[in-house]
Every structure is written in C-alpha cells, then in structure tokens.
Structure 1
Amino acid sequence: MIRTPLRPLARILRARDRGENPDDIEAENRRLRHEQIQDRARRRAEGRLVVMAGCFLLAFGTVAARMGTLASSAAAEPQAQVLSAQIISQRADITDRRGHVLATNLLTHSVYAHPHQMVDPVGTAQGLAQIFPDLEVERLTSDFTGDRKFMWIKRKISPEQMQAVHDLGEPGLLFGPREMRIYPNGDIASHILGGSGFGNEGVSSAEVIGIAGVEKAFDAWLRDPTNEGAPLALSIDLTLQQAMEEVLSSGMNVMNAKGATGILMEVQTGEIVAMASLPDFDPNDRPRPLLTGEPSDSPLFNRAVQGQYELGSTFKIFPVAQALDLGLVNPASGINAAAPMRIGRFLINDFHNYGKELSVTDVIVKSSNVATVRIAQMIGPDRQKDFLEKLGLFAPTPIEMVEAPTGQPLVPSRWPAVTSATVSFGHGLAASPLHLAVAYATIANGGKRVTPTLIHGRQRPEGEQVLSPRAAAMSVDMLRQVVTRGTARQAEVAGYEVAGKTGTADKPRSSGGYYKNKVIATFASVFPASDPKYVLIVALDEPSTVINGTEVRTAGHTVVPVTAELIRRIGPLLGLEPVTDENLPTIAARFEPRVEPVQAPEIKLVANQ
C-alpha cells in the first residue's frame, strides 16, 4: 500500500507562495487517512460477521438435520463401549434352566492395614482377632509392629464386620470397595458351579475369576463385557438338583455309604438336568484340597465326572445290544450258562447257578457273567472294542467342566480273551458314572450317540448311529424286565415304567487287588421305558445294609431302593404323566412282534487270545 505523505513538499511550497497555512494541508491529509483506516476496519468487521453468520447457519442446519433424522428413526438404547483394559470386576450371573440364580455378585468391602499409620497396633490386633476369630493376635501384633507398610487383613467382609472394624477407630485400618461372588443356594450344585476367587486386585477393585467347575470353564465368557450382562443358563433344574441331593444324602446315611453320586440326563438332548456328588461343599467357603489320602476323600472330588470305577453288571447290556445289532442273537436265543467257565488259567463264575442255558433276555434279567462272556465271544474283541469306543467309554466326556479331562477312563492297553471277557460284565475297564449315563442315553435314544452338556438350549449336531433302533428298543425292553422280574424289582415305581440294570463291583485297592468287603453299587436306569426320556445313574461308594440279620452290599438291596425313592420325588417334578395302562406293549413289540428262539452257536475257547 502506497501512503500519501501528510506534508507533500509541492503543496507546501505553493501554499507558502499564496500565503496559506501549510498546517491545514497536513490536517486535511490526516483526516483523509483516518477515514480510509475506518473504512477498511468496517469492511473487515462486516466480512467477519458474514462468516460467523454462515457458520451459525451451517451449525444450526446440521443440528436440525440430525434432530430430524433421530425423530424419524426407531428408538434404541445407547450401547456402552469398552475402551480400556482395566480390572474387570463385573461377572455375569449363572442361572438354572428356569432362570433361578445359582451364582451372582454382591457389593462388599475389603479391609487392609497401613501399620506405620497405626496409633495402637497391639490393641488393634486384639480387636481384629475378636472380630475375625481365624486371625491370630500374635501374628497380627508382629506384622503391625514390624517394618511392613501394607498388608491385607480380609479380602471380603460382611457389613456387620465392616462396622465392627470401623468401631475400632484405628486410622491405620482402611476399606476398599469390591464385588464378591456369592452362591445363594449354598452347597446345592457345588461341584457343577465349582467356585471362584480373586485374580488381579487392588485396594479399590478386584477381578473375580473362576477356579473350578463351570465357573472356570466359562471364565472368559462370564467376564466378557460384550455379553452385556447376559446370564449363563445351565441345563440343570434347581428344584430337581435339590431333590436329588436330599435323597442321595439320606440314602448314604441309611446304607452306610462313604459317598454317592447321581446323574439325571435328558435322552434326546444330552442336557444334564441334575448331577450330584456327595459329600459336597459350600462354594461360598470352598475348602482347601487334601494333600494326603485318596482323592475321593476330599469333598472337592466330583465322583460323577472324575470318579473312575469298574461299574460291574451295568456293562452287560452293551455286548447284548451289540449282538442283537449284528444279528448274532435275538431276545429268545439260548446261551450256554454252565458255570464255572475257564479262560486260560482264569475261572469265571456266577453269583447263582442259573442252569445250563439262559435266553438272551434272561442273561440280562438274571445277570449271568458266564452267559455274557459267551455273547462277547460271539462278537469278538475287535468289534467289542470298536463298539465301546463309539459309546464314548475310551475318552473323557466332553462335558463343559475343567474337571472333565481328569475323567479319562482306565482302558486296558492289551485286549486278550480274558480282558474281553471281564470287560463284558464290567470289570477291567474303569469309567465314570457320566460315561455310563452317556452310553445308556445312546441306547435309549434309539442308538444315536448322545453328547452330554450342562448348557441349556444349545443346538447340537445329530449324533452318530452306533446301534440300530430295533436293537436299541429290544435292549430297553430287556432292561425293563430287569425291574419287573429281575435283580432290580425294588426299583418299580408305579406309573413310570422304570428300566435299568444293577451293578455291584468289588472296589479296587490303591496298592493292587480288590477289597473283599467293599463295593461300588450302581443302578443305571431309563424311564419311561415305552418312550425313553430320561437316564438316571445312581451309585453308592461302599454301601452296606442289614437284611434279616445278614449284611448285604449288592446293588439290588442298596442303591436300587435309593433310586426308586429318587424317581418318586422327581417324577412329578419332571411333569411326566404316569402310565396307567397295564397292557401297554413293550418297545420291542413295535419292531419284532414275534420272536422265535434261535440257538446261539457254541464258541470254543482259546486261552490268552
């Protein structure tokens, strides 16, 4: 910009020549310059106002457009987003299939100490020991008067305990907020739930993590904030679970048993409706693992999943079902039952003398070891192993619990003739009661493989057809006759058509061999037999009762009555309508209206095959 001088020389000289005052020229130029400056300032201000007006117009236009869009859209709740990896204290609830809470969270507090800030360390130690009897006065006094700057007193306390600590008036005792995991039903379903503890923790928050059971198996899911607090719905029914545990507890006391286990499973879905192992524990105050003795001595031991037992005569239905499927026999076929039977240097005998021959049905009804072995010999070791493997008896169950892999069945490394024989009647192969439940559910499900689960409503692929529907139906019919006229007659519960098989197996010693006076008594049942819906496995560890002055341990007199009482309790709760038609045809009649006896071929025994 070229500025005009205030006193231009040419004009000044002309003004002096004319006798005018040169200062007037300067004053005039100064006035013109000021007007120009004001004009430019006004134009700049007007430009800024135009820009601001445009900005306001754009902003209000944007807000108006957004408001119009929101007004015309469907209403929706805002979604919270996780933007950090801080300690996650919130944990999803666990419920049963009906929505009853099995595990939830409770806001509580922890108490910790800054010993260097304490006014009366000795008196504080004495006061805390009175509030928390498990704390030792000497240990607290030593810690409070030492060099420690920080120490935990209790990681979770009740409101009453918090008030009592507060009343001590010690400035060195401080409280921290946190959530704790509580199990409102106490010891009910404790082995399924497992328990929880604290992971990452600070004075103001703590991370709750699963340490056993489904709490640990689904730990990541339960702590995942993207699930938006949705509960984990288990397949168990709280009412049925409680009923099972009450009946099993009473049965243990009446039959003087060391332990008990029960599994109730839906046949078609594999969902476990109730599963108990006694003795149990309270997950709110989970005990420490035992460091000595047998694993089953600990209340933490889950007999249903972790227990590995020789399940005795409950296995006899497997070779019979396979022989029916292969067409080697039919229910009326005659089987040589002459006892004793020798395989190499081993003798196989029966509990009673059943005569020279039994029908295949009576082999199951009377529970003949010898006749079962002869059926297994018709099948052969290779086919026998293949069938048992398809039933899931060679691998851990895929149940959603961290304890499942520890339930690896004890399968013989070799399978000679004597092993094939003993396995056919439930000795020489140890599996868990859950394995037995899965195998019986497969038979009751028309021969389709069933996969157990603890999650309600989960879609699963259809199982493998390991047995023909016809053979499976005839097998269930034989199991029904075990209850109506065989070793499990005390299991007959009017209206529920119970079918099943007893099993009494000598209990093995940890040092080798078997106890002479200790058994595992098992009853594997299916009901109702005409339309199988549920499988129920009940087992007692070391049962014993006295009948007519004689001590007895067999399953028919120990575990069978307990199972019958359990079915009476849970049958109405399951919504099953009792069957009243006395002439209801058996399942096998639908597949084979008329069965002609077929004499089974005689098998020559070769020792140590």
Structure 2
Amino acid sequence: MIRTPLRPLARILEARAKGENPDAIENQNRRIRHEQMRDQDRSRAEGRLLVLGVFFFCAFAVVGARMGLLAISDPVEPRAHAPGSIIANTRADIVDRNGRILATNLDTHALYAQPPHMIDAEGAARQLAKIFPDLKEERLIKDFTGKRKFLWVKKKISPEQMQAVHDIGDPGLLFAPRDMRLYPNGKLAAHIMGGASFGREGVRAAEVIGVAGAEKYFDDYLRDPANAGKPLELSLDLTVQAAAERVLDGGMKLMNAKGATSILMDVHTGEVVSVVSLPSFDPNNRPRPAIEGDPSDSPLFNRSVQGVYELGSTFKIFAAAQAMELGLVNANTMINTAGPMKVGGHTIGEFQNKNYGTLSVSQIIEKSSNRGTGRLALMIGKERQQEFLEKLGLSVRTPFEIVEASGGRPLMPARYTDLSAVTISYGHGISTTAMHLAAGYAAIANGGLAVKPTLLKQKGPQLGERVMRTEVAAAARRMLRDVVVGKNGTASFGEVPGYFVAGKTGTSEKLRAGGGYYKNKNINTFASMFPAENPRYVLIVTLDEPVMTSGDKPRRTAGWTAVPVAAEMIRRVAPLLGMRPTIEPAQVADITLTSSN
C-alpha cells in the first residue's frame, strides 16, 4: 500500500492561496488511510475464517468416515504387538499326486518364561521337569533364579502339555502361538519331505523354514504367501510309497542288509512315483546329523541320491545298446569272451573265474560276461562311450528336486583310458546313484529317449533327446527279458506272473575308505522294468551289504538278494498302479478231432 502524506505541501500551499483551511485536507487524508487499513484487516480476517472452516470440514469428514467404517466392520479384540519386522508364518501344504496330505501346518504353542514375573521359580521348575522329562530341573532352577528376563522353555508343546503348564498357575510362564509343520504319515516318504524347523522367532509368531529334502528345495515357493492356498503337488503316490517301504523294509531285514533303497519311475514322464531309503526317520522329530563315523550309517542319509556306488553289471546293457546303436553289432553277433584278456596291463576276469567261450551279444547280457562287454567297449571307443554316458545323464548330477541330490555327483576316472572304458562297461570304475541308473534304464524302456527324474507331477510325457533308435531299445529290452526268463539268466527269481519283468542284476564289492575292496561286503542292485514289451515303469532296488543265510551257505549276489525283493515289490505295487496282470494262454493239448458227432 502506498502511504499518502497527511499534509501534502502542494495542496496546503494551494489551499492557503485560496483562503481554505489546511486542517481539512489533513483530516480527509487521515480518514482515507483509516478506511484502507480497515478494508485490509477485513480481507485478512475473512481469509483466516475460510481456511479454518475448510480445516474443520475435513476433520469432521475424516471422523465421520472412520465412524462409518467401524460401524460396518466386525468387532475384533485389540492385540498388542511387539515392535519389529513382521514374521510371515504361512507355509503351503505338500500333497501327493492324488491330493493326499504329505505335509501341512498345525496350530500349536511354544512355552516361554519371564523370571522377574515368577512367584515360585523353584516350584515351577520342579513341575515343568515332571511335564517335560527331557528338561533338567537343576538347569531350569538356575535359569529362573538368575538374571535372565526372558527364555524359551519349549519350542513346541501339545495341548495336553499346555493345559498341564497352565495348571501350574505361575504368571511368569506364558504361551506363544506357533504354526508347527506336521507330517501326518510319520516316517512315510521321510527322505523326500526332509523336515522343517523354526527360523526367525518372535513372541507372536515364528517363521517355519525347510531344513532338508523337498521342504528346503521348494522353500521359496512354500513360504510365498501367494501360494498359501495352492499346495505343492508331488509325483509320489502315497499308497504305492507305503507298499514299497513295507516290502523293502522286510526284504532288508530278511537279507540282513545294512541299508536299502528303491526307486519306481514312470519311463515316459520321469515322475518318481515312489522312492525309499532305509533306515529312515520321522520328520516330525528329525534327529541331529552325525558328526563322526560313516555318513551312510545315519538314518538321515538318502541312499537314492546320496549313495554313490559302483553298481556293477547293471551297466552292461548300456554297452550292448550303444554297440548296436553304432551298427557295430546286433543281438546275434558272436563275441569271443574267452580269456585271458588284458587291457592296460590289467587282467579282465569273470565272476568265479568262469570261461564262457564265444557268446552272442544277447548271451553276454544274459550270462553277465565281463569280458564280453569289455570287448564291446573297446569296439565303441572311450570317447564315444563318454558321450553316450553323458547323454543318458550318468556323468552329471541328477536334477531330482531335493537338496541332497546336489551332493550325489557321479565319480568318473581322472584319466579316461581304454582300461576305464572296459571296466565302466561292466559297472566298475564309475560310481553313480540309484537315481542315475533309473533314468538310464528309463531311456531303454521308453524306446530310446532320455528322461530327467522329477519329483513334481507332470501333465504328460516329458521326453528329451533321442539316445538310441527304437529298434535298438526294443532289442535291449529283449536281452533284459532273457536275464529274467532265460535258461542261464542271473535274475530267475525276478519273474512276476502277468507282469513280464525284464532287468539286470549288479553285484559290486564295496570300496574301502583307504582304497581297495571288501571281499564280503557288496552293493547289490536289480534294475528292472515292466511289462517288458511296452514298459511303463522302471524299478531299481539296491541293498547295502546283504547276505542271505537261509540256505546251506551264505549267498551275497544280487540274484539271491535284490532280485526277490524287487519281484515282491512289483507283485505288490503293480495292482496299486492300475496295472492288470496279463494271463498267458495255456498250451492246447495235442488232440485230433476225428468226428463232429
């Protein structure tokens, strides 16, 4: 605002010249100035009132909206939460291929103590030791009477234990809600489930994390809140798994074996329908890992993917199939298997020093000749053999979806020589897992296409690259069938009427830790498929240090130990897989019809 002087000199002089009163000019200017000041104050006051009105309007609007929201919401009792990051305690279920629960969550509680609030610390310790026998009374008294202000007493308690603690009535004993991982089937499929434990913990919640098996491999998926209502669907069949575990457990005990594993795989999809490793454990109460001794002695050891062994003569069919694929031989090609045979300064012998003479390729597999497959390997060559094993997935880690599978890397020779090629052809000099062997046999069973073992349910065939021609795979299957039903086959106990089993035995001496082999400790394997003409499934059964003692002398070969167990397993699980036995027609008697009357 421009301030005008109250007595402007020009106007005062002009008024005096005209005889007017100069004070009138001053009074007029003062009145005008006061009117301008009044108008300015009024405008400022009106602006402030407008802002204040808008503020009150917004405040009443927010209060009204909140009151309306509370009016239409359900009443909830307020809870006090400790400060800190939010712990996500949701975890998706795991189900088998038919939707049956393998792992789920259970609402439970943990028990913690606040010693400063306890009335009778020593009395509470004595009663807790009675409720939980694994707790030491002296330790509890020391913790409760010390300087600690907070301590966990038990991470998981049952409703009955919770009620017993509640009856103690000490205000310093409190309960924290928990989501516990529950495996309702106990030991069933324990090595696949693996187990879970608590990660980050708070008083109001605890984070459940996978510690082994599928629980750890799929941990990100299972912990994702978006998947809380979408269970992880596995390829396992719970009914088949239960039957396989029972048969293998009985067979392991009958054959006095240290351990055992079995794998049942769909040859077209690579789905593992059943996988068993014994001895087993209960994932609801997972034992602590062994810190000394042989890892395979621990029940946590998964023999199907961690047990890297020389699997013996089960590898011979790969040498025969590759030789036929390369056009070097056919099933009837005659091979001289007579000794002596030396490669790289080492003598290649036969089981029990047998000498088979000249055999066809089919007979080499039937009689399980080391020299026969060795000569096939020399015809193939070490470079081509390596390529073939790689295509079958026998020289790389298996992609099976549990964390333990990453540790089951096949052991190959440091220098791959002609001697390596020969010994590998009959399953020595290379160590793999039973899961690798199952994938290799699946390629023969499905007509020559590689497959990858998977734990996830598939919607259809999942076939990889072709590793052998269809007719070669068919010829290999006929050879494996002769191993079971042939006159000189090594798996004569493997036939199951109506299911036409084909397979190959493998007996391998166990490696010593310091080098060399044990003479009376074997890894025995029977790799089979059924039905032989058009296989749907591959079954691998491996026994660790078996010995059959029911006969006149101890027997340690796969034909006497692993084969009967596999046959019984096929007999039990095939009907559960929806497979009906095929009844072979009986031979018609030689009767000549002489008259129609």
For Structure 1 versus Structure 2, the TM-score category normalised by the shorter chain is 0.7 to 0.9
What CA distance in whole angstroms lies between the structure 1 residues aligned with 2:195 and 2:444? 34
1:484-508 deviation line (CA, Å, top 9, x unaligned): 0200010000000100000000000
Q: Percent identity at matched positions?
A: 59
What CA distance in whole angstroms lies between the structure 2 residues aligned with 1:121 and 1:512? 59
Residue aligned with 1:555, SS: coil
Shift of 1:258: 0.2
What CA distance in whole angstroms lies between the structure 1 residues aligned with 2:340 and 2:169? 82
Asked if the contact 2:260/2:278 (under 8 Å) is kept, the reply is yes
Report the equivalent of 1:411.
Answer: 412
Shift of 1:420: 1.0
Shift of 1:340: 3.5
Report the equivalent of 1:316.
Answer: 316
Asked if the contact 1:340/1:370 (under 8 Å) is kept, the reply is no
Asked if the contact 2:442/2:451 (under 8 Å) is kept, the reply is yes
Residue aligned with 2:424, SS: helix
Report the equivalent of 1:508.
Answer: 511
1:416-462 deviation line (CA, Å, top 9, x unaligned): 11111111100010000000000000111111110111111256764
Asked if the contact 2:113/2:172 (under 8 Å) is kept, the reply is yes
1:146-172 deviation line (CA, Å, top 9, x unaligned): 110000001110000000111111111
1:478-557 to 2 correspondences below 5 Å: 478-485=479-486, 486-546=489-549, 548-557=551-560
Change (3 A) 1:270 1:582: farther
* Consecutive unaligned residues in structure 1, runs of 5 or more: 1-47, 53-83, 585-609
Does 2:565 match 1:565? Answer: no
Residue identity matched to 1:128: L
Asked if the contact 1:311/1:522 (under 8 Å) is kept, the reply is yes
Q: TM-score, normalised to structure 1's length?
A: 0.81
What CA distance in whole angstroms lies between the structure 1 residues aligned with 2:414 and 2:467? 23
- How many residues matched? 504
Report the equivalent of 2:421.
Answer: 420
What CA distance in whole angstroms lies between the structure 2 residues aligned with 1:208 and 1:460? 35
Residue aligned with 2:403, SS: coil
Does 2:380 match 1:379? Answer: yes
What CA distance in whole angstroms lies between the structure 2 residues aligned with 1:431 and 1:363? 23
Residue identity matched to 1:302: N
Asked if the contact 1:271/1:452 (under 8 Å) is kept, the reply is yes
What CA distance in whole angstroms lies between the structure 2 residues aligned with 1:263 and 1:522? 11
1:4-40 deviation line (CA, Å, top 9, x unaligned): xxxxxxxxxxxxxxxxxxxxxxxxxxxxxxxxxxxxx
Residue aligned with 2:292, SS: coil
Residue aligned with 1:403, SS: helix
Shift of 1:87: 1.3
Report the equivalent of 1:250.
Answer: 250
Report the equivalent of 2:469.
Answer: 468
Asked if the contact 2:508/2:523 (under 8 Å) is kept, the reply is yes
1:272-330 deviation line (CA, Å, top 9, x unaligned): 00000000100000000000011101100100011100000000001100001111111
Residue identity matched to 1:407: G
Change (3 A) 1:475 1:582: farther
Residue aligned with 1:470, SS: helix
Residue identity matched to 1:500: G
What CA distance in whole angstroms lies between the structure 2 residues aligned with 1:337 and 1:460? 40
Report the equivalent of 2:91.
Answer: 91
Asked if the contact 2:276/2:304 (under 8 Å) is kept, the reply is yes
Report the equivalent of 1:588.
Answer: none
Residue identity matched to 2:386: K
What CA distance in whole angstroms lies between the structure 2 residues aligned with 1:440 and 1:460? 16
Asked if the contact 1:340/1:350 (under 8 Å) is kept, the reply is no
* Consecutive unaligned residues in structure 2, runs of 5 or more: 1-52, 58-83, 588-597
Residue aligned with 2:549, SS: strand
1:461-520 deviation line (CA, Å, top 9, x unaligned): 640101111111110110011000200010000000100000000000111111111000
Shift of 1:345: 2.6
What CA distance in whole angstroms lies between the structure 1 residues aligned with 2:560 and 2:238? 29
1:167-206 to 2 correspondences below 5 Å: 167-206=167-206
Change (3 A) 1:461 1:249: closer
Shift of 1:529: 0.6
Residue aligned with 1:497, SS: coil
Shift of 1:123: 1.2
What CA distance in whole angstroms lies between the structure 2 residues aligned with 1:367 and 1:220? 47
Structure 1 runs, 4 residues or longer, greater than 6 Å off: none
What CA distance in whole angstroms lies between the structure 2 residues aligned with 1:480 and 1:582? 19
1:152-206 deviation line (CA, Å, top 9, x unaligned): 0011100000001111111110001111000000000000010000111111111
Residue aligned with 2:540, SS: strand
What CA distance in whole angstroms lies between the structure 2 residues aligned with 1:364 and 1:579? 26
1:366-407 deviation line (CA, Å, top 9, x unaligned): 000011100111001110111011111111100111111101
What CA distance in whole angstroms lies between the structure 1 residues aligned with 2:267 and 2:343? 37
1:215-251 deviation line (CA, Å, top 9, x unaligned): 1111111111122511111000000001011011101
Report the equivalent of 1:400.
Answer: 401
What CA distance in whole angstroms lies between the structure 2 residues aligned with 1:547 and 1:225? 56
Residue aligned with 1:422, SS: helix
Residue identity matched to 1:107: D
Residue identity matched to 2:484: V
Does 2:214 match 1:214? Answer: yes
Residue aligned with 1:315, SS: helix
What CA distance in whole angstroms lies between the structure 2 residues aligned with 1:478 and 1:249? 30
Asked if the contact 1:267/1:533 (under 8 Å) is kept, the reply is yes
Report the equivalent of 2:236.
Answer: 236
RMSD over aligned CA atoms reads 1.8
What CA distance in whole angstroms lies between the structure 2 residues aligned with 1:384 and 1:145? 71
What CA distance in whole angstroms lies between the structure 1 residues aligned with 2:566 and 2:363? 23
Report the equivalent of 1:3.
Answer: none
Shift of 1:577: 1.9
